């Protein structure tokens, strides 16, 4: 299975919206969804279309955590490092994942398959430590459970 995003025409996304400033976030969301990040050339085209200064669009894109200006992996792995998860081994899980994936937290694997991130709290402390792989919550996560999950992602 290819890990590259489906070929999308940025112009098709832009044409869905009127050329007004109030559509900036909608455009950024659609581009993020299509490409798994906001390429610099897409940001410039969005600014040309909406009349929003590039500096303002850049500020919006870097303010909201849901946006990324760097390519993201096909799969997102988020390790909770809130107090309960930290006390129950969240940091060790991050270390194990960094070694296995050969990336640091906040980075994406070279094949663009996985982006590893840490979060401050997922709000499910009773299940700690918790790791979210895409939308799948892994309660009482262990290195073994994570290895199994990563193998299933690679096999898809």
pLDDT reported for residue 7:
59
Could you tell me the residue ranges of all domains in the chain? 10-63, 75-155
Helix (H, G, I), strand (E, B) or coil at 54: helix
Determine contact, residues 127/140, Cβ cutoff 8 Å: yes
Half-sphere exposure at residue 55, Cβ-oriented, CA atoms within 13 angstroms: 0
Determine contact, residues 77/105, Cβ cutoff 8 Å: no
pTM, to two decimals: 0.77
Pick the residue with more confidence: 35 or 154? 35
Q: Is the pLDDT of residue 44 over 90?
A: yes
86 membership: H or E segment, kind and range: helix 83-87
Q: Mean pLDDT in the chain?
A: 92
> Quick one: pLDDT band at residue 66, thresholds 50, 70, 90?
confident
Determine contact, residues 98/109, Cβ cutoff 8 Å: no
- Domain 75-155, what fold? Glutaredoxin (3.40.30)
Q: Is the pLDDT of residue 5 over 50?
A: no
């Amino acid at each position: 299975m290819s890990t590259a995003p489906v070929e999308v025409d940025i112009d098709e996304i832009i044409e869905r919206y009127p050329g007004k400033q109030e559509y900036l976030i909608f455009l950024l969301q659609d581009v993020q969804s299509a490409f798994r990040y906001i390429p610099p050339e897409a940001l410039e085209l969005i600014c040309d279309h909406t009349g929003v200064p590039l500096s303002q669009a850049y500020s919006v894109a870097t303010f909201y955590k849901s946006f990324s200006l760097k390519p993201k992996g096909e799969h997102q792995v988020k390790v909770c490092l809130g107090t309960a998860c930290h006390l129950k081994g969240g940091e060790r899980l991050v270390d194990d994942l960094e070694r296995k994936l050969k990336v640091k937290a906040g980075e994406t694997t070279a094949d663009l398959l996985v982006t590893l991130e840490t979060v401050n709290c997922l709000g499910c402390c009773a299940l700690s430590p918790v790791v979210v792989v895409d939308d799948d919550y892994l309660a009482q996560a262990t290195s073994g459970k994570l290895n199994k999950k990563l193998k299933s992602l690679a096999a898809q």
